Amino acid sequence: MVIAGDFKNGITFDMDGQVMSVIEFQHVKPGKGAAFVRTKLRNVITGAVIEKTFNPTDKFQDARIDRKEMQYLYNDETLYYFMDMESYEQIPLDKSLLSDNFKFVKEEMMCRVSSYKDKVFAVEPPMFVELEIAECEPGVRGDTATGATKNATLETGAVIRVPLFINEGEKIRIDTRTGEYIERA
């Protein structure tokens, strides 16, 4: 059980069937009236942020979020298959559970799969990945009016901006959170 008076940043709990995580909290003890806890909460599954006040004695059921490293195997149109490296169990996940930055993930990469009560709600790719440039236009010397970058298509099919000196066939490192080129690999 989680008591509102004991809230700390990062605690997850079940509130009205929704899994909530505490982003911020403040214990308020006004001169008149009873004390209360002012919080900012994030719905772990939908990502929505709300502000809510609680009585310090309010009790909630603890919500345990399971995060497991799993290997991405392959996909067949809308289903993406992941394998648990300990039990070798394969689970299919719908494309709707994947974030936009999943376009940087190729087969056999490890991803973090988050679930609550054995129901998967999110798949996080690694923060940094090394991918090969499948196709890019040649850089023209002296063409710096566009900020000295050009479009490049990666081996996964994603298109990003890279510096002019990067050529087709080179491996580069990418930050999957921002989708930006970091360096040559």
- 96: helix, strand or coil: helix
Q: Is 37 exposed, middle or buried (0-12, 13-18, 19+ CB in 10 A)?
A: buried
pLDDT of residue 95: 87
82 contacts 88 by C-beta, under 8 angstroms: no
- 36: helix, strand or coil: strand
Per-residue pLDDT of the chain (185 residues; tens, 9 = 90+): 889 989 988 888 998 888 898 999 999 998 888 899 999 999 988 888 999 999 999 999 988 888 899 999 999 888 999 999 999 999 999 888 888 888 999 999 999 998 888 888 888 899 999 999 999 888 666 656 656 788 899 999 999 998 888 888 999 999 998 989 999 88
pLDDT of residue 142: 63
162 contacts 183 by C-beta, under 8 angstroms: no
pTM listed for this prediction: 0.73
From the list 38, 62, 63, the residue with the least C-alpha distance to 52 is: 38
**Going from the N-terminus, what domains does the chain have, and what CATH number goes with each?**
2-62 (2.30.30.30), 65-124 (2.40.50.140), 128-184 (2.40.50.140)
